[in-house]
Amino acid sequence: MIDKAIIDQWSSYKSKTKTPFYYYDVDLLKQTVATAKNEADKRGYILHYALKANANPNLLKIIFGAGFGADCVSGNEIFRSLQNGAKQETIAFAGVGKSDLDIQIGLYNNIFVFNCESIPEIENINYLARLKGLKIYNIGLRINPDVDAKTHEYISTGKKENKFGISAWDFDKVIEKLETMKYLRLTSLHFHIGSQITDMNVFVELCQRVNSFNQWFKDRGFELEHINVGGGLGVDYQTPDKNLIPDFATYFSVFEQNLKLFPGQKLHFEPGRSIVAQCGSLITRVLYIKEGKTKNFVIVDAGMTDLIRPALYHAHHHIENLSSDAPEKVYDVVGPICESSDCFAKDVLLPETKRGNFIALRSAGAYGEVMASQYNLRELPHAVFSDKLGSVK
Ligand X SMILES: *Cc1c(COP(=O)(O)O)cnc(C)c1O
Q: With respect to ligand X, which residue has the nearer C-beta, 73 or 333?
A: 73
Q: With respect to ligand X, which residue has the nearer C-beta, 31 or 324?
A: 31
Spatial contact of 300 and 284, defined as CB atoms under 8 Å apart? yes
134, 135, 114: which is closest to 124 by C-alpha?
A: 114
Compute φ and ψ for 105, nearest 5 degrees.
-60, -40
Q: With respect to ligand X, which residue has the nearer C-beta, 20 or 230?
A: 230
Give the number of other CB atoms < 10 A from CB of residue 149. 26
* Structural Rg of the chain based on CA atoms: 22
Distances (CA, A) of 170 to 173, 338, 351: 5, 45, 57
Provide, rounded to whole angstroms, the least separation between the CB of residue 337 and ligand X.
25
CA dist., res. 371 & res. 343, Å (int): 16
Compute φ and ψ for 357, nearest 5 degrees.
-65, 150
Provide, rounded to whole angstroms, the least separation between the CB of residue 73 and ligand X.
6
3-state secondary structure of 341: coil
Q: With respect to ligand X, which residue has the nearer C-beta, 69 or 231?
A: 231
Provide, rounded to whole angstroms, the least separation between the CB of residue 295 and ligand X.
34
Q: With respect to ligand X, which residue has the nearer C-beta, 153 or 172?
A: 153
CA dist., res. 32 & res. 365, Å (int): 12
Spatial contact of 214 and 224, defined as CB atoms under 8 Å apart? yes
Q: With respect to ligand X, which residue has the nearer C-beta, 315 or 359?
A: 315
CA dist., res. 350 & res. 294, Å (int): 17
List residues near ligand X by CB under 6 A: 50, 52-53, 71, 73, 94, 192, 195, 230-233, 270-274
Q: With respect to ligand X, which residue has the nearer C-beta, 17 or 157?
A: 157
Provide, rounded to whole angstroms, the least separation between the CB of residue 115 and ligand X.
7
Provide, rounded to whole angstroms, the least separation between the CB of residue 126 and ligand X.
21
- Helical axes 75-83 vs 100-108, angle rounded to 10°: 30
Q: With respect to ligand X, which residue has the nearer C-beta, 94 or 302?
A: 94
Q: Write the burial class of residue 363 (CB in 10 Å: 0-12 exposed, 13-18 middle, 19+ buried).
A: buried
CA dist., res. 365 & res. 388, Å (int): 17
Provide, rounded to whole angstroms, the least separation between the CB of residue 292 and ligand X.
37
Provide, rounded to whole angstroms, the least separation between the CB of residue 71 and ligand X.
5
Q: Write the burial class of residue 176 (CB in 10 Å: 0-12 exposed, 13-18 middle, 19+ buried).
A: exposed
Provide, rounded to whole angstroms, the least separation between the CB of residue 16 and ligand X.
33
Provide, rounded to whole angstroms, the least separation between the CB of residue 203 and ligand X.
12
Q: With respect to ligand X, which residue has the nearer C-beta, 165 or 335?
A: 165
What DSSP letter does each residue of 207-248 carry, written as one string? HHHHHHHHHHHHHTT----EEE----B---SSSGGG-SS--H
Q: With respect to ligand X, which residue has the nearer C-beta, 200 or 299?
A: 200
Provide, rounded to whole angstroms, the least separation between the CB of residue 163 and ligand X.
12
